[in-house]
Amino acid sequence: MGLVYPLPSIRHSASAKEIRLEDCLGKTVLVIGGGGREHAIVDALSRSPQVSKIYCAPGNAGIGEQAFSVPIRDTDVAGLLAFAKEHEVDLTVVGPEAALSAGIVDAFRAEGLAIFGHTKAATQIESSKEFAKKLMAKYDIPTASYTAFSDYQEALDYVKGRPFPAVLKYDGLAAGKGVVIAENLEEADAALKSMLLDESFGKGRVVVEDFLTGPEFSFMCFVNGTDVFPMPLSQDHKRAFDGDKGPNTGGMGAYTGLPFITEEDKEFAYKNILCKAAGAMVAEGCPLTGVLYGGLMKTPAGIKVIEFNARFGDPETEVVLPLLNSDIYDIFYGIATNDSRIVAPVWEEGVTLGVVLASKGYPGHYQKGYPITGLACVKAMVYHMGTAITDDNLVTNGGRVLMVVAGGKDVADARKKVYKEISKINCDNLFYRTDIAHCALDK
Ligand code: AMP
Ligand code: GLY
């Protein structure tokens, strides 16, 4: 499969002196972001024969192996624009939603620079739950039915008259913390107070929707207007601990090769959800020009949308992009320049599985700065999510720290490889789930 890459020992990002002749001939790409998702994007770009130089802003210690780190925040649009111009960047690729919501794509395009990602208007499909819900209702895209509120008392009265659990969603970007599944009135009341009275995430509305059941999965597509190119399906693990227990996190592991989703399911979701949404966004005057991520659920009443994201998922990207057999630069650049001749990407047959190593305490309070050793012995891809170099040592520098990803002939094979390789990593302050892909493997 060619998916097992030993990561070279960690060093600082290359210095200007290390730039070689061929660096002047190929394409220069700037990747925005600094997590595991961006490491996977940088890794995929580094496999492109056309790409000779990659910058990553802000990047992290692991990304610094494959790209020049640029100390500019992902939402500093003016700073990133000035950098791209000064360094003659041929293409910019945006990872995080915050940068898209800050209007980075609009700003780059206004200056004639090629950038992969959605405009601020198109990003509303993720940044506003109500925008997404209205779009789905108008274009008959299957999802839970909903009502939106801006008044605390009205929302509470509505929830009182409905069955529990109640699904409450803050209508804006809330770093994954804006969804509460309230088991009873007390929990619902606390959430509504926090969202509508205390305005914990800012001033906004709350969407109350039907509670759905069934396995969840992630369906990401590259989208250029009405052209929709599907990626392999994957499944994230949102809870912190084994058995899907504990608090919600950014994602503790993911894998491809989902046995519970049939080809017909995928076809249905592709046509009736992803393609319809792409068409709907064109009709609404804000075409998609990046990744559309469908967070979907296979309910007893069919496949429905839980949420849309306007970007690559994290940690899904870390298991999906290693399967790409096409030149990702062509896909990114084709979409960035609205080229109608984009060739559908080709994907490997095998499967991948990845496990996240997180700082103890995450997603709550955690300490940073713990040394990590043993990576040089790991015979799997190690994507860095939150690492830094201090005094020449690799140290933890975030909640989610590393993701170890391996390919295999099936999910069981990939899982075995990943856990074996993780045992070679030493760090006093990391924990990880031991049951990634349990939906696929455990009876
Ligand atoms: P979201 O941020 O919208 O993806 O929601 C976070 C998580 O909450 C999802 O991954 C689901 O597990 C759960 N969730 C969201 N909406 C619903 C729903 N309507 N019914 C059941 N679970 C939901
Ligand atoms: N893995 C979920 C997300 O990226 O939002």
Round to whole Å and give the CA distance between 124 and 141: 16
Run of H or E residues at 86 = helix 77-86
User: Which ligand sits nearest to residue 166's alpha carbon?
Assistant: 1
| Per-residue model confidence as pLDDT tens digits over 266-311 | 999 999 999 999 999 999 999 999 999 999 999 999 999 999 999 9
How far away, in angstroms, is 123 Cα from ligand 2 center?
Answer: 15
Contacts of 248 (CB under 8 A, 6+ apart): 176, 177, 179, 238, 239, 240, 363
Any atom of ligand 2 within 6 Å of the Cβ of 38: no
Contacts of 18 (CB under 8 A, 6+ apart): none
Atom 12, ligand 1: which residue's CA is nearest? 216
In testing the pocket of ligand 2, which one of 312, 314, 317, 436 has its CB within 8 Å of the most ligand atoms?
314
Residue numbers in the chain where pLDDT is lower than 50? 1-17, 19
Q: What is the DSSP string of 150-179?
A: S-HHHHHHHHHTSPSSEEEEESS--TT-SE
**Spatial contact of 280 and 273, defined as CB atoms under 8 Å apart:** no
Run of H or E residues at 181 = strand 179-182
Residue spans of alpha helices (H) in 246-384: 263-269, 276-283, 316-320, 328-336
User: Which ligand sits nearest to residue 212's alpha carbon?
Assistant: 1
Q: What is the DSSP string of 10-68?
A: P-PPPPGGG--GGGGTSEEEEEEE-SHHHHHHHHHHHT-TTEEEEEEEE--TTGGGTSE
Any atom of ligand 2 within 6 Å of the Cβ of 314: yes
pLDDT at 5: 34
Any atom of ligand 2 within 6 Å of the Cβ of 313: yes
Q: Tokens for 92, please give them.
A: 């910019």
Round to whole Å and give the CA distance between 263 and 201: 39
Q: What is the DSSP string of 236-269?
A: E--EEEGGGEEEE-S-SEEEE--TTS-HHHHHHH
Q: Are strands 91-94 and 27-33 parallel, antiparallel or unpaired?
A: parallel
The angle that helices 152-160 and 185-192 make with each other, rounded to 10 degrees, is: 160
Round to whole Å and give the CA distance between 160 and 368: 43
pLDDT at 442: 77
Run of H or E residues at 80 = helix 77-86
Any atom of ligand 2 within 6 Å of the Cβ of 316: yes
Round to whole Å and give the CA distance between 188 and 165: 9
Round to whole Å and give the CA distance between 395 and 383: 14
Run of H or E residues at 87 = none
How far away, in angstroms, is 314 Cα from ligand 2 center?
Answer: 5
Round to whole Å and give the CA distance between 330 and 315: 23
**Spatial contact of 316 and 254, defined as CB atoms under 8 Å apart:** yes
Round to whole Å and give the CA distance between 375 and 10: 8
User: Which ligand sits nearest to residue 176's alpha carbon?
Assistant: 1
Instruction: Reply yes or no: is the peptide bond before residue 232 cis, omega within 30 of 0.
Output: no
Identify any residues that bridge with 395 across adjacent strands, giving them in sequence order.
371, 388
360 phi/psi in degrees, rounded to 5: -55, 130
Quick one: three-class SS letters along 190-232? HHHHHHHHCCECECCCEEEECCCCCCEEEEEEEEECCEEEECC
Round to whole Å and give the CA distance between 77 and 72: 9
Identify any residues that bridge with 181 across adjacent strands, giving them in sequence order.
167
pTM over 0.85: yes
In our burial notation (b when 16+ CB lie closer than 10 A, e otherwise), range 172-200 reads bbbeeebbbebeeeebbbebbebbbeeee
